[in-house]
């Protein structure tokens, strides 16, 4: 096709995020359509660039249009069918498409808090640069920290991190400079750097987004860590379920080697360092650092007894520093821009920023980065936009299966290591689940404990047997067959499991149960004493019924029922057989006349479902 010569009114750069989340939403088709249409336009004033994840999962696919004067326009939920409109009206006539805009100068001011209250350090390049182009990373200041470091000394690199106050972003918050210093001082012919990218928390995708959107930042962070401790070999342990992250990491490693930024005689110095990728099979326990080392060594991923700690005897029994993705992504920015650029944010003991994956009943789900010390209220309502269902905010779960449930009454709690620990929760790696008033906290505790039980490696009896026993008690309670003695017993078990388990999985597995009992005790009492689930979620304690006066006999509920529990003639009121009903909720979602209701108490609690003893 012959190109059409068109002159745009401005110089435009069009960016389209191509990370896993946006590709799943259709961004690849949108990008291909832009590429096809712009190829037919002979105009060098419009450029198209693929990027990574901007974090705004709630409105993917996103198209960003930037002008040469610095104006920024964000279009959300852009399908391939919308491309012509954006090109013809905005790019060629300088008329932004109002019905697709989600953010622009003086447009949608409610989005100002979303951007203004975030501070992007680890996510600085995510959704900004082309993750498959090393030059894009370098133009954004990439590898400047490495160049600065090799002209300095390893001790100064560690001292810079100490001054910055960077703590491990994998959950425990151990000071990064101290981990590096201990590994540097340890005796060993070889030393290793390991990047823990085994992101296993349900709902967490911080590491994946950084690896897909800014892989060179992690590589540079590993280079700086290796230079600081004296390592010549590094490993990135990434779960195989992240194929795009692994693909872009491999590309980044190859590109860095071609520029003498990785391999032998880095930047012409005597510093040598190589990186290899190891793909994990998805075992949650391999997120624990010693189990991860076992997996890299080709053994079954099971925790080791400590001490000795990995800094002394780690991978192949040599001193090893293990850091997670977000921690390493922060390091180049600290070394490049100085410690003060990082520690001006946060609190006295929790410096800098933290990345969170917002999920659950929240309007603006996705990835955000906030200064430490921001309150839960600001995070959920100012940045997250509030509760998506329009119902009352009930609680958040931080730290995944290892974390705790924080009630809405504590929404003024600052988000930092000390404040969260004080109320029984943990920072964790950054997963944050938002719940509304329709959430059953007994059900939430049961879900996370079931996950921890299933992922236990089984090495120690406290975790292997203790979580099984706790889950049995929770199941009885959720079926209305629990007793007050069960509440005492489950708390005692939880404390014993925390004290006796050998690794972080077992030591934190009881947290969701213990915090829900602490903050939602009345909800447990309702299940035990009244035999009802206030949130109407526990299947054994609810019954679906059809209100005859409202039922039109359309048959949609009957057609959607997988158990054939609904009977009735067309245009006549239908009925649900509660003995056959599996309480899946499909009838409720299919009914267009609000004729189906949930009753909180079943007819026969004791025989409603089989309960694990």
Q: Which residues, other chains included, contact 156 with Cβ-Cβ below 8 Å and sequence gap of 6+? A: 149
Tell me the pLDDT tens digit for each residue of 228-283: 999 999 999 999 999 999 999 999 999 999 999 999 999 999 999 999 999 998 88
CA 400-198-323 angle, to 5 degrees, is 95
Nearest partner of 525 among 537, 512, 534, 536, judged by Cα:
534
Whether pLDDT at 503 is above 80: yes
Q: CA-to-CA distance for 294 and 291, rounded, in angstroms? A: 5
Please give the pLDDT value at position 607: 40
- The residue-averaged pLDDT of 445-472 equals 93
Please give the pLDDT value at position 605: 46
Please give the pLDDT value at position 603: 46
Tell me the pLDDT tens digit for each residue of 55-68: 999 999 999 999 98
Please give the pLDDT value at position 611: 43
Q: CA-to-CA distance for 383 and 432, rounded, in angstroms? A: 13
Tell me the pLDDT tens digit for each residue of 330-343: 999 999 999 999 99
Query: Does this model's pTM top 0.85?
Result: yes
Tell me the pLDDT tens digit for each residue of 389-417: 999 999 999 988 888 999 999 999 999 99
Tell me the pLDDT tens digit for each residue of 36-50: 999 888 766 899 999
CA 405-407-411 angle, to 5 degrees, is 115
How much of the chain is helix, strand and coil, in % rounded to 5? 40, 15, 40
Q: CA-to-CA distance for 430 and 417, rounded, in angstroms? A: 12
The token pair that represents 66 in the structure block: 């930037």
Q: CA-to-CA distance for 551 and 557, rounded, in angstroms? A: 10
Find the length of the chain: 613
Tell me the pLDDT tens digit for each residue of 560-591: 999 999 999 999 999 999 999 999 999 999 99
What is the pLDDT of the chain when averaged over all its residues?
92
Tell me the pLDDT tens digit for each residue of 118-149: 999 999 999 999 999 999 999 999 999 999 99
Q: CA-to-CA distance for 38 and 88, rounded, in angstroms? A: 11
> Is there a contact between 398 and 427 (Cβ–Cβ < 8 Å)?
yes
Whether pLDDT at 2 is above 60: no
Please give the pLDDT value at position 340: 96
Classify 415 as helix, strand or coil.
coil
- In this structure, which long-range contacts are made by residues 341-346, counting pairs with CB atoms below 8 Å and at least 24 apart in sequence? 342/121, 342/164, 342/165, 342/166, 343/163, 343/164, 343/165, 345/119, 345/121, 345/371, 345/372, 346/165, 346/371, 346/372, 346/373, 346/416
Q: Which residues, other chains included, contact 170 with Cβ-Cβ below 8 Å and sequence gap of 6+? A: 196, 287, 323, 324, 326, 327, 429
The token pair that represents 176 in the structure block: 């990064």
Tell me the pLDDT tens digit for each residue of 144-186: 999 999 999 999 999 999 999 999 998 778 999 999 999 999 9
């Amino acid at each position: 096709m012959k190109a059409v010569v068109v002159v745009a009114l401005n110089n435009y750069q069009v960016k389209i995020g191509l990370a896993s989340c946006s590709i799943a939403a259709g961004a690849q088709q949108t990008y291909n359509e832009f590429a096809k249409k712009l190829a037919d336009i002979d105009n060098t004033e419009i450029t198209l660039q693929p990027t990574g994840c901007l974090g705004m999962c709630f409105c993917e696919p996103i198209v960003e249009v930037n002008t040469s004067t610095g104006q920024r326009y964000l279009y959300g939920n852009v399908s391939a069918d919308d491309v012509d409109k954006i090109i013809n009206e905005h790019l060629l006539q300088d008329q932004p498409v109002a019905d697709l805009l989600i953010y622009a100068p003086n447009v949608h001011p409610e989005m100002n808090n979303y951007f203004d209250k975030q501070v992007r350090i680890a996510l600085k390049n995510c959704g900004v640069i082309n993750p498959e182009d090393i030059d894009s990373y370098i133009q954004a200041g990439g590898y400047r920290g490495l160049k600065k470091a090799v002209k300095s000394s390893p001790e100064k690199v560690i001292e810079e991190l100490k001054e910055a106050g960077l703590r491990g972003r994998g959950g425990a918050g151990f000071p990064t400079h101290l981990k590096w210093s201990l590994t540097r001082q340890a005796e060993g012919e070889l030393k290793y750097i390991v990047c823990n990218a085994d992101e296993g928390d349900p709902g967490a995708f911080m590491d994946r987004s950084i690896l897909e959107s800014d892989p060179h930042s992690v590589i540079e962070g590993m280079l700086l860590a290796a230079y600081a401790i004296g390592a010549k070999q590094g490993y990135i342990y990434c779960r195989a379920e992240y194929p795009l992250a692994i693909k872009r990491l491999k590309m980044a490693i190859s590109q860095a080697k071609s520029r003498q930024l990785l391999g032998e005689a880095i930047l012409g110095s005597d510093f040598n360092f190589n990186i290899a990728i190891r793909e994990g099979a998805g075992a949650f326990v391999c997120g624990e650092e010693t189990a991860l080392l076992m997996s890299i060594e080709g053994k079954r991923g099971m925790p080791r007894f400590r001490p000795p700690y990995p800094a002394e005897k780690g991978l192949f029994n040599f001193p090893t520093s293990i850091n997670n993705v977000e921690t390493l992504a922060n390091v180049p920015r600290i070394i490049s821009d100085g410690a003060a650029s990082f520690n001006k944010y946060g609190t006295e003991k929790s410096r800098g920023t933290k990345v969170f994956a917002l999920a659950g009943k929240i309007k603006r789900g996705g990835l955000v980065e906030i200064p430490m010390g921001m309150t839960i209220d600001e995070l959920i309502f100012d940045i997250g936009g509030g509760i998506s269902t329009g119902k009352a905010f009930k609680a958040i779960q931080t730290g995944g299966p290892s974390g705790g449930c924080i009630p809405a009454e504590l929404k003024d709690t600052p988000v930092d290591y000390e404040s969260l620990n004080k109320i029984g929760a943990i920072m964790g790696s950054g997963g944050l689940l938002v719940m509304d008033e329709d959430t059953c906290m007994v059900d939430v505790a049961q879900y996370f404990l079931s996950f921890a039980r299933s992922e236990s490696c089984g090495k120690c009896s406290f975790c292997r047997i203790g979580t099984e026993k706790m889950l049995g008690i929770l199941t009885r309670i959720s079926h209305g067959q629990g007793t007050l003695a069960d509440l005492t017993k489950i708390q005692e078990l939880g404390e014993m499991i925390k004290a006796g388990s050998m690794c972080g999985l077992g030591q934190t597995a009881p947290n969701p149960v213990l915090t829900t009992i602490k903050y939602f005790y009345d909800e447990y009492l309702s299940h035990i004493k009244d035999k009802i689930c206030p949130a109407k979620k526990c299947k054994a304690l609810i019954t679906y019924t059809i209100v005859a006066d409202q039922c039109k006999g359309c048959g949609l509920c009957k057609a959607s029922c997988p158990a054939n529990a609904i009977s009735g003639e067309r245009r006549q009121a239908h009925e649900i057989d509660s003995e056959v009903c599996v309480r899946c909720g499909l009838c409720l979602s299919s009914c267009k006349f609000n004729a189906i209701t949930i009753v909180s108490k079943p007819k026969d609690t004791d025989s409603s479902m089989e309960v694990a003893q």
